[in-house]
């Protein structure tokens, strides 16, 4: 049986990249379930539990902004590193003059969400682990603002602030609106490490809430 928690997250910018946009980044309208799971894992990660996102509440209106950022178009080759380790003469650096390019990104700005989620115990849990113990640790971290590593909204340069949501009612930015957001990335399927596959679902935001509990997943 899973144990639930509600977490308020907010920040200045967010970028939940659409995979169909190849070169220049374009964000989804709303935080993806996989990004929400990543934030929860950043707050508290343990091999004995698995986070499952139930709902995402959109607390502020969806707003976009466009920026241009410097990015590198290549990365250091793992093959070059191996050859250099074996004594070959290989350059193990990236020349900023040759490799850095400017690319436009369509970002979300001034975002705020409430993530409603629960966790299930896994087979990696120790004999001393139990749901009550994990719940106490999570609540303590949320109240103190502690985290495993700094959570972020899609990209590490967009940090996510967080705290425990203790109110019963959650007021969203869209009271009487239903919006079809199209196909959205749900998560990655890691069941086969040699063939990691993306999973998508038809995202529909109803009254500012993205409910992913019983969504149909398409691979």
pLDDT given for residue 13 in this prediction: 97
Q: How far apart (Å, rounded) are the C-alpha atoms in residues 16 and 80? A: 32
86 occurs within a structural domain: no
What pLDDT is attached to residue 1?
42
Q: Is 92 among the domain residues?
A: no
Whether 134 maps to a domain, the answer reads yes
Question: pLDDT-based confidence at 52, cuts 50/70/90?
Answer: very high
Name the residue range of residue 9's domain: 3-68+104-218
Tokens, residue 88: 């070959």
Q: How many domains does the chain have?
A: 1
**Spatial separation of the C-alpha atoms in residues 65 and 207, rounded to whole Å:** 23
Q: What is the pTM of this model?
A: 0.86
Is a pLDDT exceeding 70 seen at residue 86?
A: yes
Residue 88 confidence class, pLDDT cut points 50, 70, 90: confident
pLDDT given at position 83: 83
Measured between alpha carbons, how far is 13 from 182 in angstroms, rounded to an integer? Answer: 22
In this model, does residue 145 exceed pLDDT 80? yes
State mean pLDDT over 114-134.
Answer: 92
Give me the mean pLDDT over the 21-43 stretch.
92
Q: What pLDDT, on a 0 to 100 scale, did the predictor assign at position 195?
A: 87
Alpha-carbon span 203 to 219, nearest angstrom: 15
- Structural Rg of the chain based on CA atoms: 20
Residue 89 lies in a domain: no
In this prediction, what percent of the chain has a pLDDT beyond 90? 63
Q: Provide the pLDDT confidence category of residue 72 given band limits of 50, 70 and 90.
A: confident
Alpha-carbon torsion, ordered 77, 80, 82, 85, to 10 deg: -130
Whether 2 has a pLDDT exceeding 60, the answer reads no
Answer yes or no: is pLDDT of 152 > 70.
Answer: yes
CATH of the domain at 191: 3.30.70.2660
Q: Which of 93-97, 166-170, 195-199 has the lowest mean pLDDT?
A: 93-97
Q: Kindly state whether residue 78 falls inside one of the protein's structural domains.
A: no
Chain mean pLDDT for the chain: 90
């Amino acid at each position: 049986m899973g144990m639930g928690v509600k977490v308020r997250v907010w920040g200045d910018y967010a970028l939940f990249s659409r995979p169909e946009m190849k070169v220049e980044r374009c964000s989804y309208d709303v935080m993806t379930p996989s990004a929400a799971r990543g934030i929860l894992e950043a707050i508290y990660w343990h091999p004995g539990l698995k986070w499952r996102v139930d709902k995402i509440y959109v607390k502020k209106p969806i707003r976009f902004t466009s920026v241009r950022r410097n990015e590198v178009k290549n990365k250091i080759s793992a093959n070059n590193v191996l050859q250099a380790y074996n004594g070959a003469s290989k350059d193990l650096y990236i020349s900023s003059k040759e490799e850095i390019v400017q690319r436009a990104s369509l970002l979300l700005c001034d975002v705020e969400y409430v993530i409603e989620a629960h966790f299930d115990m896994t087979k990696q849990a120790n004999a001393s682990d139990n749901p009550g113990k994990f719940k106490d640790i999570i609540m303590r971290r949320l109240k103190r603002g502690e985290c495993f590593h700094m959570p972020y909204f899609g990209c590490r340069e967009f940090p996510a602030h967080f705290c425990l949501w203790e109110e019963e009612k959650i007021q969203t930015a869209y009271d009487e609106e239903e919006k079809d957001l199209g196909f959205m990335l749900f998560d990655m399927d890691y069941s086969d490490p040699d063939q990691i596959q993306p999973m998508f679902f038809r995202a529909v935001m109803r009254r500012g809430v993205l409910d992913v509990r019983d969504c149909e997943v398409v691979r």
